[in-house]
Structure 1
Amino acid sequence: MRALAAALSARLARWYRSPLSWRLVFGVVAALAGVLWRLLMGGDPGAYAYTAFYLPVLVASFAGGAMSGALALLLGAVAAQFWLAPMQGMQDALALLTFLATNGAIIFVGEAFQRTLTHVDNLETRHAMERLAAQNAMLAEQFGNVARAAPGVVFSFRLDATGFGSCPYLAENVRTVLGVEPQEIEGDAAPLLRRIDPEDAERLRASFAASAAHMTMLREAFRFDHPTKGRISLETQARPVRQADGAVVWHGYAQDVTERKLDETARRDAERALEQRIVELERANERLARFAYVASHDLQEPLRKVVAFSQMLDAAVAAADYADVAHAGEVMRRSALRARELVDDLLVYSRLTDAPLKLQRRDLRVEIQSALTDLSELIEESKADIHLDAPNIEFSVDPPQFARLMHNLVSNAIKFRRPGETPRIAISSRIADGMLRLSVSDEGVGFETKYAHAIFEPFKRLHSKAQFPGTGIGLAICKTIADRHGWTLTACSQPQQGAIFELAMPIDGPT
């Protein structure tokens, strides 16, 4: 019953707050109903002329309020006086006064009833609003606590039709995440937008425009200039909502992902380093396989001589043939030195394959001059004419390995000179196709073009050891050093027209 009474009182209260015209219409209808009822009763029209209007006025007063009841009372009195029973004496006047007084009291009570119901409804409405406000406050507090505890910042970003941006809502932790006070950007987001990295700003504007045009989720990553942390990386996602005035409001979330980006970068660098190392090991295994085959063949030659001439030495000693003893001993000595030279070069080659690179930023011209200084004795002995044309340009290099590479290229150019001629060597560099190209050219004996790749294989020789002594591993070492740095080493030559060795290095730093 209580629930039914509350529902009815709420409906009546809403009716009482309805427009005045409807209540006037209700009063007129109530008066007409009284007249119709009196006509249907029949009998003398003057008898009980006012009786038919008590119920309509009562209904009009309690249902439509004082205005409806008063209008029904007035129309009923007029109808009774001028139509049903015109006043003819004191008795009729007394009846009219009684009718007016009684119905006036009814109207007063009905108005009081109406006001009571309206007050009750207003009170219920106020209580409901208070409860709703309390719930909203509690939800806002809970949401604020969650937003403050989150690693990112919850925000609303508004962009009006003119392109003006503001931030109607920002979680309190915006001070930590973005380094700004909420009130600084609440009305104008320009101070915040100016801190976005210029290289990302245009892409971010295009993403916002596309999201606003198609009402699609915005997902972006960009760099941000934090007042205290410096350059950080942010990721954001937000859902757009079109406003009645044409503006668009994005409700979303922005998070500092700098640490994650650094971890990802470190992981990618480690993966690239691992991949590079795998490639190096595969190359090294391939080179060592060829090397092992060739080295075993080359080592067998001096060892066979040692074995053979040791037997000759035994026979010469037994025969007291001192000339054969001396010859056998000399051959054995040269063979042993040859074997030691081969082993030494083998150790150098294997160490280059396994030793980690220690890259440094160095000046190209300075490093070349340093390598030439180490070769000064050989250069002076051969009277080599060396022309250096290299700028002071920085590059990434393992200095000891670069020195060995230059040492081998220059010493090869000196060794393979044409008989009776002074070695002339030109060392130059240039930048072409985004690469730093360093070349070492000579005017020596050269070689046929078809051997341009074979000369970089270990122990690969194009000339006799008697004419040009050596182990044949110098250029293989150069190729290994170049490969490990990510450089490209190529050779170009024609017989008796000299040779050109070119090293192509990526430009990976300021010049």
Structure 2
Amino acid sequence: MSSLKGPPSPAASSDLPRAEHGRIRTIFATLAPQLVRWYRSPLPWRIAIGVLAAAAGVVWRLLIAGESGGHTYVTFYLPVLVASFTGGAVSGALTLVISAAVAQLWLARIEGLEDALAFATFLTTNSLIVVVGEAFQRTLTHVDNLETRHAMERLAAQNARLVEQFGNVALAAPGVVFSFRLDTGGFSSCPYLAENVRNVFGVAPEEICDNAAPMLRRIDGADNERMRASFARSAAQMTLLREQFRYDHPSKGTIWLETQAQPVRQADGSTIWHGYAQDVTERRREEAARLAAERALEQRIVELERVNERLARFAYVASHDLQEPLRKIVAFSQMLDAAVSSSDQKDISYASEVMRGSALRARELVEDLLVYSRVVEAPLKVQRRDLRVEIQSALTDLSELIEESGADVSLDAPCVEFEADPPQFARLMHNLVSNAIKFRRPGETPRIAIHANVEDSLLRLSVSDDGVGFEAKYASAIFEPFKRLHSKAEYPGTGIGLAICKTIADRHGWTLAARSQPLQGATFELTMRLPS
């Protein structure tokens, strides 16, 4: 059974013209820009379009009618039309002139009124075609210009919005977004700067946008050459620039800035860095404080290890030295019991005397042990003090001992600041001077010279005497706790004074050394670094 098809519905019928119109608009939108480009092409190209169109008309005329056929001008209308609507009046007029000349000189000369009217009609009609073609091209060009202008306006508006948004983001950032240009002659400028350059660099954007020298001059001299080398290396290798440098801010003083920028080579050989700079002064301070704390902790750990080692050795030696007076007390207490039982006054007096001496000796050891432990364990309270003033203060404390011994003490020290824990420095000077007085040669007045001088930021302080001295091989051993080179009968004491001096020096980071020869006196030299 055959199917019957009815007429199309009105809706379907109305869709057809719209579809046709849509296709036409698509074709026009595709061809229009190309036609405009041809119209705007250089004059030689438009002349070539006219010549080619005329040649096509001649070839077409020969193909369909021969040299003597009728319809002389029919084949030239389309070439003139195409040339006019493609290349404008120049192309159309040239096609018309060439076509007319060929027709009259070669194909069909004017021989009567009819031929003249046909030729006049050809010229008139095609002249109108040329005028219409030129008007069409001008209309297309105007429309294209409007489209281009509108597109540029939309693009400019979009760029303005992006610049505004970027500026708001850059202004909210803690640092400054910038573009820095360096040409081949070394001249620098800043094509773009965020507004907060005023806060970071302390200058207005307009001051350095054309010439960055006012900003570059504020880079610290110690960092200037390094920054120049970094920029040169980044420009040569096209690598990321990342540096920290000191900057003389107009209102903040010297600050630390960190910059990071990516270089881009320009066509003229110059280089533009697009990047970001921020104030890192506070961060560097925090890092410096953290590093100082870490160094102090490491130093404290080393010090504690050294203290533990000394305390272990000290405890061993101290226990050994304490046993001697305690053994005597125990032994002579038994002798005292026996003497009391037998009423032997001589033994009673002797035992009592020995026990008393041993008790005093034990008490002296315990007191020195307490002093040593305080020196080892007490936290240092370092202060800046005047060296000469501190030495004179220590000598004043020892004035009674100096007067009793008749010692001649001379002081040759500059008024220079040094860093020390004042009580511990006073203890060190007390021990060195009293040690020099104690170990004097029998029957002679002790002469003690205290001298200090500064060399290459190092302070050297020496205490020299003309006493009994010691052999050079004991120059290190004398600083060990309870180390004695002489008998207690000759020179009483516990042998801990120099160990305390050595501990104080080590805790301050100083160097304490001794040199001597028997009967030629001794010199103790303290070396310390002066504060910057």
Q: Aligning the two structures, in what range does the TM-score lie when normalised by the shorter sequence?
A: over 0.9
Paired with 2:436 and 2:64, the residues of 1 have a C-alpha distance of: 140
What is aligned with 2:277?
Answer: 254
The answer for the alignment partner of 2:184 in structure 1 is 161
Equivalent-residue separation in structure 1 for 2:194 and 2:99 (angstroms) = 67
Residue 325 of structure 1: aligned partner: 348
Corresponding residue of 1:397: 420
What corresponds to 1:180 in structure 2?
Answer: 203
1:487 and 1:451 map into 2 onto residues whose CA distance is 20
Counterpart among 282, 295, 302 of residue 272 in structure 1 = 295
Provide Cα deviations, 1:166-199, integer angstroms capped at 9, x if missing partner. Answer: 1111111111211211111111212111211111
Distance of 2:89 and 2:349 partners within structure 1: 148
Q: Which residue of 2 aligns with 1:10?
A: 33
- Give identity over the alignment, percent: 75
What one-letter code is carried by the residue in structure 2 that aligns with 1:144?
G
CA distance in structure 2 between the partners assigned to 1:409 and 1:44 by the alignment: 136
Q: Distance between the aligned counterparts of 2:52 and 2:165, measured in 1?
A: 55
One of 192, 198, 214 as aligned partner of 2:215? 192
CA distance in 2, matches of 1:3, 1:327: 135
Q: Which runs of 5+ in 1 are unaligned?
A: none
Among candidates 515, 522, 525, match of residue 492 of structure 1: 515
Residue in 2 aligned with 1:456?
A: 479
Q: Which deviates more, 8-17 or 138-147?
A: 138-147
Find the partner of 2:115 among 76, 92, 100.
92
Change (3 A) 1:417 1:44: closer
Mapped to 2, the partners of 1:65 and 1:330 lie a distance apart of 140
* Alpha-carbon distance between aligned partners in 2 of 1:161 and 1:220, rounded to the nearest angstrom: 22
Q: Does 1:31 align with 2:65?
A: no
Question: Residue 406 of structure 2 aligns with which residue?
Answer: 383
Q: Distance in 2 between matches of 1:390 and 1:195?
A: 43
Equivalent of residue 55 in structure 1, options 45, 66, 78? 78
- Which residue identity does 2:383 align to in structure 1? Q
Compute the TM-score of the two structures, normalised by the length of structure 1: 0.95
* Cα distance in 2 for residues equivalent to 1:35 and 1:45: 13
* Matched pairs, number: 509
- What code does the residue aligned with 1:467 have? E
Q: Deviations over 1:404-437 (max 9, x none)?
A: 1010000000001111111111111223465211
Matches within 5 A, 1:313-462: 313-432=336-455, 434-462=457-485
Q: 1:330 to 1:65 in 2, by over 3 A?
A: same
Tell whether 2:470 aligns with 1:472.
no
Tell me the secondary structure at the aligned position of residue 49 of structure 1.
coil
CA deviation string 1:127-172 (max 9, x = no partner): 3222322332222222222222222211111222332221111111
What is the alpha-carbon distance in structure 2 between the residues aligned to residue 358 and residue 72 of structure 1? 107
- What's the secondary structure of 2:178's corresponding residue? strand
Query: What is the aligned counterpart of 2:130 among 107, 110, 125?
Result: 107
Runs of 4+ residues deviating >6 angstroms: none
Q: After TM superposition, give the deviation of residue 69 of structure 1 in Å.
A: 1.4
| In 2: Cα distance, 1:451 partner to 1:381 partner | 29
Q: CA RMSD in A?
A: 1.7
Deviates more, 1:159-168 or 1:358-367: 159-168
Give 2:168's aligned residue: 145
CA distance in 2, matches of 1:174, 1:326: 93
* 1:13 to 1:458, Cα distance in 2 relative to 1, 3 A: same
Output the CA distance in 1 between the equivalents of 2:200 and 2:236.
Answer: 29
User: Which of 273, 289, 298 is matched with 2:321 structurally?
Assistant: 298
Q: 1:83 aligns with which of 103, 106, 111?
A: 106
Separation in 2 of the partners of 1:41 and 1:428?
128
Equivalent position SS for 1:312: helix
* Structure 1 stretch displaced more, 123-132 or 168-177: 123-132
Query: What whole-Å deviation, never above 9, does each CA across 1:256-297 have from its counterpart, x for those lacking one?
Result: 111111111001111111111111111111111110011001
Moved more, 101-110 or 16-25: 101-110
Equivalent position amino acid for 1:342 in 2: L
What is the DSSP-based 3-state SS (H/G/I as helix, E as strand, rest coil) of the residue aligned with 1:469?
coil
Q: Deviations over 1:310-345 (max 9, x none)?
A: 222222233333333333223222222211111111
Q: Using the TM superposition, give the Cα deviation of residue 43 of structure 1 relative to its aligned residue in structure 2, in angstroms.
A: 5.7
Which moves more between the two structures, 93-102 or 3-12? 3-12
The AA in structure 1 aligned to 2:387 is L
| Matched residue type, 2:512 | L
Gap regions ≥5 residues in structure 2: 1-22
Using the size of structure 2 for normalisation, the TM-score is 0.92
Change (3 A) 1:108 1:355: same
Q: Is 1:311 equivalent to 2:334 in the alignment? A: yes
- Could you tell me how far apart the structure 2 residues matched to 1:326 and 1:210 are? 93
* Partner Cα distance (2:135, 2:408) in 1: 124
Larger RCO, structure (CA 8 Å, separation 6 or more)? 1
Counterpart-to-counterpart distance in 1, 2:27 and 2:102: 38
